[in-house]
Every structure is written in C-alpha cells, then in structure tokens.
Amino acid sequence: MRILVSLENNDHLDRLAYKLCSFLSIIKDPEIFIDILHVYQPPKEARVDDIKDIISEIKANEKKMRIKMISECENKLEKFIQDHLDKTCLVNSYLLEGDYQDRLEKHLVFHSYNLLILNPGKKNEFLQILKGRNTHWAIDNLEVPVLIMPNYLEVDKKHDWEITCFIDELKTFQNIERSDLFNKFSQEKIKFLHFGKHKIHDSVEIVHSAKPLESITQHTSCVHSNNVFVLNHKNRGNYLNFLDKSFTKNVILSLHNPLLIF
C-alpha cells in the first residue's frame, strides 16, 4: 500500500506519528510505503541589494528548519513502525517550494498512491476544515481518496482502529466495496451502516430510525475517536453541494474522528 502524507507544519509531530502508525495496524498489506510531502512558499525576492542578502539568509534558514521538521516526522514514523508493527515499511520525504496545489498535482502525476492523508492544523471545526481552500480542492479534484486527520484529534489508546462507512443508497455501498483502497484494509475492521427503515444489502447493518439524520448525529457524537468515518463524494466538481447536504452536515456536526472522503 502506498500512502502520501501532506505535512502542514511541525505542530504535534509526536501525535501525528502515533496516529498514523496506529492507523496502519488495520491495513492488511505486509508492505507499506509512506511518502511525506511538505510544500511551502519561500520569502519573495528583494530588489535592493542590502535586503537581498538578508532575504537569502532567511530563505536558507527557513529551508533548514523545514528539512529538520520533515526529517523528524520521518524518523518518528520509522521508529514507531519498527517498534510496534509487524510490517515492512519505507518512509520517504519530499520538500518542495511553490504553490501547494500545483506542486501536489504534479507530484501525483509521477507517483501512484492508494491514500492521501491531510493533517490540517489551523482550524478546530470539521466544517471549517472541509471548506478550507486546499482541502476543498484536494477532495474535489484529485482521484486519490482523502483521509482528513486534523491536528487537534486525539488517539484513543483503549480502542483499536475501526472504519465505519455511512451508506445512504446501494450505489454508495457498491462504490466503497469495489474500491481498491478498501480491499487493503482488514475486512473485520470495516462496518457498513444505514440509518433508516429499509434494507440495502446483506452486508449493510440497519440502524432503525424514524429520524435518520438525528440518529447519525447521536452516533458520531458518542463513538470513540479511533473510528474513521467514510463518506462517498460521488459527484466531482459538486463539492459545495456535497457539504450542504443534510446527510453530510449531520455526519460532521459533532465529529471528533478522522474522516475519509473519496
């Protein structure tokens, strides 16, 4: 399995490494390849000669700082995997200058990934995160599934990781079940839930409810934080309407869990 981790900053690298590595425990592939990508905008060039030297020094120091940050993340991941997981894993890093969306898109042209993991750190509400410029763009334009794992989310060390797929119709279940990504997870860790009254498929558990949207909110508010919730964004280019759906709003209303969208 190949995973790309988009590293936003150096906040809580210990927490990020632990979350990522514990999440890897539900992947059944014996070999995992993780690439860490960090894109940043260097200071703009100065026209005055005296200032040019200062800007050059700032740029050099900033690059050193970012190299150190991404190296620390790489080392923490490799150490945790070696110490705790019975898997073969290779971790690589990419430090790129320029526009985030442009560099990420070009990177994906030459590399094939099963999963893109975003680690946003500036916002503390899921709706704000999902409406963020880069998150919005990644989900709506890239073919790779996107796992959003915000900095502020904690890991529940008392529970194993699980995946809960919210199913609104048969097509959603089929899209998820047939995906290459879900075939790489341990199947006993995946649960399909439908909130309502009518059966969709033998593999989809029905949560009987006269008010499905309220039941979804209650469910997401009481589940442990190591449960990844899955939504199938079926219409590319229609992301804002996807966010505005009552179904989506009720899933993320009280969410304190990683969210996988594809």
- 95-113 average pLDDT score: 91
156 or 49: which leads in pLDDT: 156
**Across 65-69, 117-121, 184-188, 233-237, which has the greatest mean pLDDT?**
184-188
Instruction: Print the SS3 string covering the chain.
Output: CEEEEECCCCCCHHHHHHHHHHHHHHECCCEEEEEEEEEECCCCCCCCHHHHHHHHHHHHHHHHHHHHHHHHHHHHHHHHHHHHCCCEEEEEEEEEECCHHHHHHHHHHHCCCCEEEECCCCCCCHHHHHCCHHHHHHHHHCCCCEEECCCCCCCCCCCCCEEEEECCCHHHHHHHHHCCCHHHECHHHEEEEEEECCCCCCCEEEEECCCHHHHHHHHHHHCCCCEEEEECCCCCCCHHHHHHCHHHHHHHCCCCCCEEEC
**Which domains occur in the chain, in start order?**
2-261 (3.40.50.12370)
Q: pTM here?
A: 0.87
Assess whether pLDDT exceeds 60 at residue 35: yes
